[in-house]
């Protein structure tokens, strides 16, 4: 069982590194090709690449709050790490691992930008619905969070998360 846990954690780390690398590479390309350039149409009137230095959160909220964003990201990453370490080595938790690693990958990708530049590089714009400009890390977080909520609401049962209790014996006594 210990070998399986070690393998799962190694797999999580490899996937995480891969996701962060993809995010950082796409942002690097965006800086090289899009910065100080007009928007690049992919599908006219629908999708374009448009460089933006975002000093806020989603939809530009909380501008210039770097310390707050770094603090929140570190807290989220600690919670994710705790859940990944505590999750039982059963097949039904594989999707949980993948979704949490994707959320962590997005958080780390944007955290790297905030620490390096004091802003996050955004470049994907859906013009059709005038959606705020975003990046690959944002897609990781959004997509995986929606799927995680679906999993928690409709797939996992109440007792599937007993492993998160700090004291299993006390938790069982409360029931």
Catalytic residue list: 122, 138
Coil, helix or strand at residue 175: coil
DSSP state of 113: H
Euclidean distance between CA atoms 119 and 85, whole angstroms: 31
Euclidean distance between CA atoms 173 and 108, whole angstroms: 38
b (16+ CB within 10 A) / e for 105-136: bbbbbbbbbbeeeebbbbbbbebeeeebbbbb
Residue 95: name the closest of 24, 169, 12 by CA: 12
């Amino acid at each position: 069982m210990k070998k399986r846990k070690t393998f799962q954690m190694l797999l999580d780390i490899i996937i995480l590194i891969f996701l962060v690398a993809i995010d950082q590479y796409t942002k690097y390309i965006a800086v090289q090709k899009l910065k100080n350039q007009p928007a690049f149409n992919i599908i006219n009137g629908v999708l374009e690449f448009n460089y933006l230095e975002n000093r806020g959160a989603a939809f530009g909220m909380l501008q210039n709050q770097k310390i707050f964003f770094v603090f929140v990201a570190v807290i989220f990453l600690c919670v994710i790490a705790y859940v990944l370490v505590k999750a039982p080595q059963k097949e039904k938790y594989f999707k949980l691992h993948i979704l949490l690693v994707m959320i962590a990958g997005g958080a780390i990708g944007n955290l790297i930008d905030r620490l390096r530049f004091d802003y996050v590089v955004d470049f994907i714009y859906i013009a059709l619905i005038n959606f705020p400009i975003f990046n690959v890390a944002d897609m990781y977080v959004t997509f995986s969070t929606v799927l995680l909520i679906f999993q928690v609401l409709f797939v996992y049962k109440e007792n599937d998360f007993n492993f998160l209790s700090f004291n299993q014996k006390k938790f069982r006594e409360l029931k």
